Amino acid sequence: MRAYLRKVTGLSEAQTTRLIRTFLDCGAVRAQPYQRHRFAVRYTAEDVTLLAEVDRAHGRLSGPATRRILQRAYEQFGEKQYERLAKISVAHLYNLRASVRYRNQAAVFEPTQSTAAAIGQRRKPDPQGRPGYVRVDTVHQGDSAGTKGVHHINAVDAVTQWQVVGCAEKISEAYLVPVLAAVLAQFPFPIRGFHADNGSEYINHRVAQMLRKLYAEFTKSRACRSQDNALVEGKNGAVIRKLMGYGHRSRSCNRCPKRSSF
């Protein structure tokens, strides 16, 4: 019988013997609830609410500064509700700040603040029927076996549809800016406007400086407005991908045109 009980319950022989003795002495065996040791709660929910109010009022200062404020509120101004918080340690103050109740009391939700960039105006260009407003985009020819491919710089005039394509080894400023300057120089009319998406290859100070020398306005696409640069995006597939394909072309490939006009 003992072996059967050990098999069914998974208890050891000593545990089984102790339970049998309890049954013989008391006539019943009852499961004892687990008694977890708990320290006495010193700071109540009201104290956490007071701490959250103090942090909101003072902009959530450091622990020592907040502790000093709580001490002054009780000792100098006689506010009895701060009696327990006046004796709190700095370490335990941070423990209260990490509690769920404090986060629910002190949480402040603000919308994401956009970072203003001084380079370019975030709007759709308005050529008003005049040539010289160029849309620009980059097309990557792809990588293969760790070898980087070339980048096509696609520039299209918004009115006349005049298109110039150049190749850059990399899209860093040192490689892209000279190619971009050569591409803009091939247009048969003055450049009045330059529009690109928000990529860092175009939104940088070197490109902005080059456009200032040309007295051209610098615009960039708006958020959630994919149609702002849709003209050159369509030319990427209808012209560049049609002629160059989707296959990898290494930077040393002599079949990649350095400049082309369509």
- Give the pLDDT confidence of 168-190 residue by residue, as tens digits: 888 877 888 889 899 999 999 99
Q: Which element (helix H / strand E) includes 51?
A: helix 45-58
**pLDDT of amino acid 110:** 66
- Torsional sign, CA 209, 213, 215, 221: negative
Look at strands 163-168 and 151-157 and give their pairing. antiparallel
In this prediction, residue 255 carries a pLDDT of 43
Q: What's the mean pLDDT in 9-25? A: 89
Residue 63: which H helix or E strand, with range? helix 63-75
What domains appear along the chain, each with residue ranges and CATH number?
A: 45-106 (no CATH), 121-261 (3.30.420.10)
Non-local CB neighbours of 137 within 8 Å, separated by 6+ positions? 154, 196, 197, 229, 232, 233, 236
Cβ contact 90:63 at 8 Å: yes
pTM over 0.75: no
- CA within 13 Å, CB half, 236: 16
pLDDT in tens, 196-220: 888 888 888 888 888 888 888 999 8
Q: What is the pLDDT of residues 83-135, one digit of tens each?
A: 999 999 999 999 999 998 898 887 666 677 666 657 888 888 888 899 999 99
Q: How confident is the model at residue 191, as a pLDDT?
A: 92
For the segment 43-71, the average pLDDT, to the nearest whole number, is 92
Higher-pLDDT residue of 38, 194: 194
Proportion of the chain above pLDDT 70, given as a percent: 89
Q: How far apart are CA 154 and CA 135, in angstroms?
A: 8
Q: Is the pLDDT of residue 258 over 50?
A: no
